[in-house]
Structure 1
Amino acid sequence: MGRAYRFIVRVFWAVVLTSLAMPAASAEEALSTEGISRASDAVVGVISVAVDNASSSATLGPVRKGSGVVIGPDGLVLTIGYLILEADQVQLMTDQGRRIPARVVGYDVATGFGLVKALIPLPVPAAPMGDPAAIGDDDTLLIISGGEDAGISMARRVSQRAFSGYWEYHLDHALFTVPARMDHSGAALFNLRGELLGVGSLFVGDALGPGQPPMHGNMFVPVDLLKPILNEMLAQGRSAQSQRAWMGVNCIEIDGEVRVLRVNSPSPAEAAGLQPGDRIVRIDGQAVDTLDTLWQRLWTGGAAERDVSLDIQREGRPMQVPLHTVDRQSTLKQPLGT
């Protein structure tokens, strides 16, 4: 279905772009049509199966399906990291329905990017990377997903801002687009020149940002975050900034308070006795009132593996909780033989 679907979509876009031209299709519209075709060809499906007893299977499931985009001539594919986290097997699906075995090259905790590489020649062209900072408010963007349910749709950026995730994650800037797509995992965000701008991570309800009216949309990790760390990821499997402290908690920020939503098992937080509902007031004596401040103070406070002190409130009672953090990478299960 994928190949036929994408052919129909390309024809549709060619008609749309030509109909918008005044009075006739120009070189720019022709370039846009070519860019859309090139972008569509570069997106593949990603299917992974986690290793047995992977801790991430509790939240992500043992089998994950999403998308990726070819960024190198040797079958290097960029995707969102949670799709290939603790993966034992990875397959790439072309729009002809062909499944190609691949291996995990890197998973970067800091950015959330994942890299996989085809184990046999991948007959798919690489997508050039664009500049997310150059996106204009009125620019038409494309979201393209791959695999069995491949799809292409128009989008527009509605905000570009910092983002703090509940799972010990923070980006200084992320891209937020509308309308929302549910097949966002690893989906590729392109401009009409066929240049890759970002990789899909989340469905969100606050695309416009804090204090703005609710709006459903998607969060994309911008590719300008990949450019300075790509060589590190290829050589080491992650960037240097990903070697940082991890507690193993999911937290939520409400009205200036940070509360524990979930405790991973196993994790340093579980060993320390943290519980859902605990309010984190201070870390190492420094006040905490946002997810951003909690994560940044955790990561900048010293080595990845170290003792930290949390001041919490549990059902209104103040408590001090000593906790020994670890490097997140050391907790991830690897396939046999790696």
Structure 2
Amino acid sequence: MRLLILGGTAWLGGYITSTALELGHQVTCLARGASGPVAAGAAFVRADRERPDAYDEVAAERWDVVVDVSRQPGQVQRAAAALVRRSRSFVFVSSANVYADHSSPGQDETKTLLPPLVGNIMESMAVYGEAKVACEQHVMDAYGPERTVIARVGLIGGPGDVFDRTGYWPLRFARPAREDGKVLVPDAPTELTQVIDVRDLARWLVEAGTSSLHGIFNTTGETIPLSEHLQIARTVAGHSGPVVPASSEWLLAHQVQPWMGDRSLPLWLGDPDWAGFNARDSSRARSAGLRTRPLEDTLTAGLAWELTRDLSRPRRAGLSDDDERSLLDEFSPR
């Protein structure tokens, strides 16, 4: 089949492109090219999606599937309008951030969404969920439910995680900041995690688009406790040093941020109002063919990739070695 991928040069888009090629499809990527080259074997159309003529070249052809990962409502609306008569179906990569409530585990695709973003441009990640809701609506308005796949994706992990969330823990256990091997972890055993391997997600997106599937799907990894996730990361890294659990209250009091960002501990949420954020019901996607590999495989590949990078670089998620040592020095259990 002929696939048009809007993007295709960054992390997830790159895996979608390479997976589609491996499965024997013809792939064209439309992008600015700022994130790097397309995979070998894919055609490339250079275009800026903010320009009114961005889709002129690809709208002159016919496509079986269009795949889009954008967070910008204006980009998605213009793409859908330009391509709706030139393509059979549209696969949109959305996010579990579209939901209005994250307090309860096990919620499915029928739950209430945030209001859609008003306007064409998402100017801040503070309205990421609202922007993705608006994107979903633009696709549905153009293609209708029978020609649309919407994948509400959870946390993505594995090789290439430039957001640094899923690679942090195996790397920290593999390279403790202190000589005694101590590693600071959140004492939050009841918190839940869901990580979907980027390779599994990419394969499902391609198969969903090329199999005439349609509908809305929570596309997430399996739900496991944070404590189990950390133990798997520790095993993958071969860590045998002490693990130092600190309560959410202590971490927050010492300016450690949950989830991501500077001076953070990834995957930890620290807020009961978000207890269901990493625990969405993905049974519908699994019934539609989603297959996910063991977390151990994802973290092993993620660690191998981390070790190819500059370990002294500023991270987008996690503690620096200096912060880790300082916090361990300050820690005193209650």
Same fold (TM over 0.5): no
| Higher relative contact order, structure no. (Cα contacts within 8 Å, ≥ 6 residues apart) | 2
Q: Higher strand share goes to which structure? A: 1
TM class by smaller structure = under 0.3
Q: Higher helix share goes to which structure? A: 2
